[in-house]
Amino acid sequence: MEVGFLGLGIMGKAMATNLLKHGFKVTVWNRTLSKCDELRELGASVGETPAAVVARCKLTIAMLSDPSAALSVVFNKNGALEKISSGKGYIDMSTVDAETSIKINEAISSKGGHFLEAPVSGSKKPAEDGQLVILAAGEKSLYDEAVPAFDVLGKKSFFLGKVGNGAKMKLVVNMVMGSMMNAFSEGLVLADKSGLDPHTLLDVLDLGAIANPMFKMKGPTMIKGNYAPAFPLKHQQKDMRLALALGDENAVSMPVAAASNEAFKKARSLGLGDLDFSAVYKTVKDSQS
């Protein structure tokens, strides 16, 4: 199966590598083209533009930072849309809002192509291990065609119906995650300021009903002040912003998410956007001293 892959950031690089390792023929493109070199060494072909990749592959996957990146890779000059034709499939796995997905779907469909949105739950490590959770929606026939690739990239894929449902599901999940990260950060600071050992707090949390892989994995590195990015904070803030907009649309009041969004915005304003989203802990901690 020949697959195109657009976007070799933290997630895209791991996902394209997995496809190569599992015998897919992969043609990659990245805005900063030098990032394709590592994939080329692993056997990938390189396309000079998104259009060149789509021209070559029946199926193209995109994994880009945000709505504006997802739109520009499709609609700009030499963008994917130029070479979409009857029977070609385009799968956008970036985390975007439903409106962005719908816009891309309309454009791809108008040229006879098939579209699927398929954002993922899971971070750098699950991407490397092929353990993502895939939240797909759109053209069911394209979903069926993509299942062999999804089986390599993820541990489970959901087909959620019409375009927009995958984006919405992903935003709900990340809204919960971002709020949890803020509550966790406040808990770590509260434990410390109250004279408790934060490591003991981690042990206690891990044995109770709110134990979860995120606290377990991020807790020790946060206490050490290590915020090497697995999920960049700027993307978490983008997801909070898009989830809050979804709340606006549906008249859902979300004060906890709104406060968390403010904390992520503050962290961005302090220059922490490219660090891991757990760096919000640093802002919570520093604002108390």
Catalytic-residue membership of 58: no
* The one segment of 82-90, 155-163, 205-213, 225-233 that binds ligand NAP by CB under 6 A: 225-233
The residue within the footprint of ligand NAP, chosen from 26, 44, 64, 188 (CB under 6 A), is 64
Check binding of 65 to ligand NAP (CB under 6 A): yes
Q: Which stretch binds ligand NAP (CB under 6 A): 19-27, 28-36, 263-271, 278-286?
A: 28-36
Work out whether 31 is an interface residue with ligand NAP (CB under 6 A). Answer: yes
Q: Which of 26, 28, 63, 263 binds ligand NAP (CB under 6 A)?
A: 63
Verify binding: residue 79, ligand NAP, rule CB under 6 A.
no
For ligand NAP, the binding residue among 3, 4, 5, 11 (CB under 6 A) is: 11
**Which is the catalytic residue, given 83, 168, 170, 218?**
170
Backbone angles phi, psi at 166, to 5 degrees: -70, -45
**Residues interacting with ligand NAP, by CB under 6 A?**
7-12, 30-32, 35, 63-66, 69, 72-73, 94-95, 120, 123-124, 230-232, 235
